[in-house]
Each structure stands twice: as structure tokens, then as C-alpha cells.
């Protein structure tokens, strides 16, 4: 089957380089890439509760009310 694809320049450059390096057509490189993709839905990310906590704990910086207010104001939200 023949189709026309619009690829971003960076994606085309990568697939073109692989095709040239392996002396293959662009179509065969893309077909192999598609065949290698996992099928089916991806499982949802469900973090586990950290020891000593009831809820999952995700590492990061706490967000203050002042930061929330600033973000809402920047977005024009009440």
C-alpha cells in the first residue's frame, strides 16, 4: 500500500539516516518501526503509597498558595 506522510524535518532526517546507513528504503525502516511498537493500551500510571503514608508520595517541590494564585492570574482565571 502506498501512502503520503508529512513528517517533521527532524523525524525525516532520523529515518533517512537509518535507511541510508542500512541501505534500505524509507518505507521498510518505517514499517519495521511500526511493527516493533507495542500493541494494546498502556497501563495507567498508579504510584504506590510510600511507607508510612496513606497516599502516594511523588517527589517534587511543594506548591504554595501564592504560586497557585500567580498561575491563575497569569492564565486570567479567578
Residue 38 pLDDT: 79
The string of pLDDT tens digits covering residues 6-44 is 999 999 999 999 999 999 999 999 999 999 987 878 788
The helices-and-strands tally (H runs, E runs) of the chain is 3, 0
* Closest residue by Cα to residue 32 from 17, 20, 15: 15
The DSSP bridge partners found for residue 56 are 49
The string of DSSP codes covering 3-45 is ------HHHHHHHHHHHHHTT--HHHHHHHHHHHS--SPPPPP
Q: What is the pLDDT of residue 51?
A: 83
Amino acid at each position: 500500500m502506498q501512502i503520503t506522510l508529512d513528517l517533521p524535518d527532524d523525524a525525516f532526517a532520523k529515518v533517512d539516516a537509518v535507511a541510508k546507513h542500512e541501505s534500505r528504503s524509507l518505507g521498510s525502516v518505517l514499517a519495521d518501526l511500526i511493527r516493533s511498537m507495542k500493541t494494546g493500551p498502556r497501563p495507567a500510571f498508579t504510584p504506590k503509597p510510600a511507607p508510612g503514608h496513606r497516599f502516594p508520595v511523588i517527589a517534587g517541590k511543594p506548591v504554595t498558595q501564592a504560586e497557585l494564585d500567580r498561575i491563575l492570574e497569569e492564565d486570567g482565571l479567578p
